[in-house]
């Protein structure tokens, strides 16, 4: 005689009186699993503790033998059943969690809960948070990327702490040299915060005088943008004398110039625009400061070194050397 627990019987669409209802462990399909949902819910509650969320989604992995026995019962009784045991479990647990003031969200839940009913592990993952931010750099010597001693590592440490997160990923909008300053409004960039336990109330500003950087979170965004067009205003510091100014003025008068960067050995190249806006000679420092506006992706290093770039810095300004450059402004178009 087939014995099913109350929930397993109801799920098959059977009238509860028509099959022998057993309680708990005697159920042919679930062997008592359905009667332990309250205990399982305690595991779920424990796992989500520490996560700040309003919406959730629960998924589950069930032991194969339970699924097989449910199929077998349905085949034997020639019934389709009302619901699978898996969705019944996740629905029941979802209802229990909803009763605590949270809501199920199938599209964009703030946390994903996965219940492994084989190992009894509950895995929680927070939906990534995407941020648009900006950084400024007031001290020379810090590189942008890398796991140590970089803007990336400082921002990562801050984000992980602020959001109580597992890690962070970055999408940079251009980059500068280790020795460059970033002034003005700063350089925009995007942050993806992974598995954030905290989703609100974080501080929006990191200011570290010792590292010479400050970071501002501008706003939350939906994701990393696929393509970003931007322009940068950069100040070049060129070793040279007054005589260079004549050539620079000549370039200024030309307005926007197309600079061709060779891509490979097949003659393919990318054109980036450059516009010299202003220049001045600082006699004490023996430096010519040249302010330029360039398209995003304009690689200053290559322009200065002159490899496969036409016209390059020497073609335009003569015998000069780039000491360093600072970023004055970066604008997303």
- Judged by beta carbon, residue 34 or residue 173, the one nearer Zn ion is 34
> Most distant CA pair in the chain: distance in Å?
104
The token duo for 291 is 């302010």
User: Residue 32 to residues 7, 23, 83, 290: CA-CA distances in angstroms?
Assistant: 10, 8, 18, 78
Chain residues binding Zn ion by CB under 5 A are: 5, 8, 27, 29-30, 34
Q: Token digits for 304?
A: 């200065």
In the complex, least distance from residue 5 CB atom to Zn ion, rounded to whole angstroms: 3
For Zn ion, the closer CB: 73 or 191: 73
Nearer to Zn ion, 1 or 271 (CB): 1
Q: How far is the CB of 41 from Zn ion (least distance, A)?
A: 16
Cβ distance 88 to 17 under 8 Å?
no
CA distance 141 to 139: 7
Give me the least distance between CB of 57 and Zn ion, in Å please.
Answer: 24
Q: Which is nearer to Zn ion, 8 or 316 (CB)?
A: 8
Query: Strand runs (DSSP E) across 195-301, as ranges?
Result: 205-208, 213-221, 230-239, 256-262, 269-282, 287-295
Q: Which residue, 41 or 172, is less far from Zn ion as judged by CB?
A: 41
Q: How far is the CB of 104 from Zn ion (least distance, A)?
A: 23
In sequence order, what are the residues at sequence separation of 6 or more whose Cβ sits closer than 8 angstroms to the Cβ of residue 46?
Answer: 122
Residue 61 Cβ vs Zn ion, minimum distance, rounded to whole Å: 18
């Amino acid at each position: 005689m087939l014995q099913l627990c109350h929930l397993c019987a109801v799920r098959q669409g059977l009238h509860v009186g028509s099959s022998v209802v057993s309680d708990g462990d005697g159920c042919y399909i679930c062997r008592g699993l359905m009667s332990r949902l309250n205990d399982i819910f305690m595991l779920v509650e424990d796992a989500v503790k520490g996560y700040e969320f309003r919406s959730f989604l629960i998924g589950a992995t069930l032991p194969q033998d339970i699924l097989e026995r449910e199929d077998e019962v349905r085949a034997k009784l020639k019934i389709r059943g009302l619901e699978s045991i898996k969705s019944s479990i996740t629905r029941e647990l979802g209802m229990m969690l909803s009763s605590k003031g949270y809501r199920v969200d199938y599209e964009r839940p703030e946390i994903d809960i996965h219940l492994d009913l084989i190992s009894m592990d509950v895995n929680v993952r927070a939906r990534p948070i995407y941020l648009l931010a900006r950084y400024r750099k007031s001290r020379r010597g810090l590189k942008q990327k890398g796991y140590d001693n970089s803007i990336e590592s400082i921002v990562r440490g801050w984000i992980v702490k602020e959001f109580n997160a597992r890690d962070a990923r970055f999408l940079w909008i251009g980059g500068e040299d280790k020795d460059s300053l970033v002034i003005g409004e700063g350089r925009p960039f995007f942050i993806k915060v992974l598995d954030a336990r905290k989703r609100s109330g974080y501080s929006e500003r990191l200011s570290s005088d010792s590292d010479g950087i400050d970071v501002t979170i501008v706003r939350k965004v939906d994701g990393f943008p696929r393509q970003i067009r931007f322009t940068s205003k950069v100040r070049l510091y060129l070793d040279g004398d007054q005589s260079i100014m004549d050539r620079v003025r000549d370039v200024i008068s030309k307005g926007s110039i197309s600079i061709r960067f060779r891509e490979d050995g097949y003659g393919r190249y990318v054109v980036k625009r450059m516009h010299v806006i202003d220049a001045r000679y600082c006699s004490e420092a023996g430096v010519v400061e040249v302010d330029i506006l360039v398209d995003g992706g304009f690689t200053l290093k290559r322009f200065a070194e002159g490899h496969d770039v036409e016209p390059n810095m020497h073609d335009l300004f003569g015998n000069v050397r780039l000491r360093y450059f600072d970023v004055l402004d970066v604008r997303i178009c």
